[in-house]
Amino acid sequence: MIEARGLVHVFHTKQGKEKTEVRAVDGVDLDVAEGEVVGFLGPNGAGKTTTLRMLTTLLTPNEGTAKVAGYDVVTQSEDVRRSIGYVSQTGGVFSGARAGDEVMDHGMLYGRTKAEVEKRGKELFEQLQLDGLWTRMPRNMSGGQKRRLDIVMGLIHEPTLVFLDEPTTGLDPQARANLWEHISDLRSKRGATVLLTTHYLDEADALADRIVVIDQGRIVANDTSANLKAQVSGDLVTLEVADATRIGAAADQLKSLAGEVEIAANTVSGRVARAGRAVPGLLRELDRTGIELESIEVVRPTLDDVFLTLTGRSLRDAEAASDAVDAAAVEEGAAR
């Protein structure tokens, strides 16, 4: 459904008299097979939105090629647009019309009958907690309601290939859970292919068959969640000792399994391979040497650990240090 090779997109920024070239996407290769749900994971500014905007024909690649649903994104852009559903970060609902009218007009543009669009629209309104808002003006909706309306607009014509750009941003936990269920249903009940961008680790973990990690415009990993986590060297074991004067001795015991440990006050932590097998022996040795524990915690690797292993930064740190590259993509795409 998606085949991209060597995609590059360059933004030019200006600060005072100085012009800077930013390679927001720098040689991205991406394949998504029919029926897959692929999570496109990375911090803000990593190039996720820029990549999606090239694949949905809103930005033209400076280099590289891409086919979406069998059509070239540059030479067959109209065919691409007819074949996909797209929910952007910024939304595209016109606030001056009633929500239901927006949905009807949008769905009928794709050749659906009025009856088909109304039936599907009201189904989506119910599934996404928009009951009773069919006749409401979007300007009178909350931010979360508008976001859910954006999602309805992207799905109203029942596309077989769906691009979702940060779809759950701004949603409350219940609405987010409902959308997760709906995304799963798109594949399981309708056979849709989904490319989902997110910086929520749990979202990618829960929804995606495969996760593609992007950082600073380049793909740094592409695998299942389980395989990516397997790259992290072991489970994180944290010991909290009852007597802070014994922290050094506890650290020595853990170090025999972990190699490297970190000490903070009366806790010590380190990564232990196959911790489920190793921890019972560790506890016996601690007991034998008279080291009493307040607690022990074993945490399996997360996608944040994966990102740290791949890039040397946690995803949260990368978020904090991110620039406005993806925001520039939104602005440039909107200007087209």
Tens digits of residue pLDDT in 294-330: 999 999 888 888 888 888 777 666 665 554 444 554 4
Percent of the chain residues topping a pLDDT of 90: 58
Residues 193-205 pLDDT 10s: 999 998 888 888 8
- Residue ranges, comma separated, of all CATH 3.40.50.300 domains in the chain are 2-229+310-334
Which residue in 274, 316, 331 sits closest to 44, CA to CA? 316
Phi and psi based region of residue 318 (left: phi greater than 0; alpha: psi -120 to 50; beta: remaining): alpha
Tell which wins on pLDDT, 201 or 6: 6
pLDDT digits (tens, 9 = 90+) for 126-138: 988 899 999 999 8
In the numeric block, the tokens 């010991």 are attached to: 239
The CATH T-level fold of domain 2-229+310-334 is Rossmann fold (3.40.50)
Which class for 5: exposed (0-12), middle (13-18), buried (19 or more C-beta within 10 A)?
Answer: middle
Q: What is the structure's pLDDT at 318?
A: 67
Give the pLDDT confidence of 44-100 residue by residue, as tens digits: 888 999 999 999 999 999 999 999 999 999 999 999 999 999 999 877 676 678 999
**Confidence band for 162, pLDDT divided at 50, 70 and 90:** very high
As annotated, the residues of the chain forming the CATH 3.30.70.100 domain(s) are 233-300
pLDDT tens-digit map of 267-279: 999 999 889 899 9
Per-residue pLDDT tens digits for 225-259: 989 888 887 899 999 999 999 999 999 999 999 98
**pLDDT averaged over the chain?**
88
In this structure, the number of other CB atoms found within 10 A of the CB of residue 187 comes to 17
Q: Which residue has the tokens 């022990």?
A: 296
Instruction: Give the model's confidence band at 177: pLDDT under 50 very low, under 70 low, under 90 confident, else very high.
Output: confident
What is the architecture of the domain spanning 233-300? 2-Layer Sandwich (3.30)
**Nearest 5 degrees, angle CA 175-CA 181-CA 184?**
140
pLDDT at 149 > cutoff 60? yes
How confident is the model over 32-50, as a mean pLDDT? 92
Q: Is the pLDDT of residue 334 over 70?
A: no
As a whole number of angstroms, the distance between CA 318 and CA 212 comes to 16
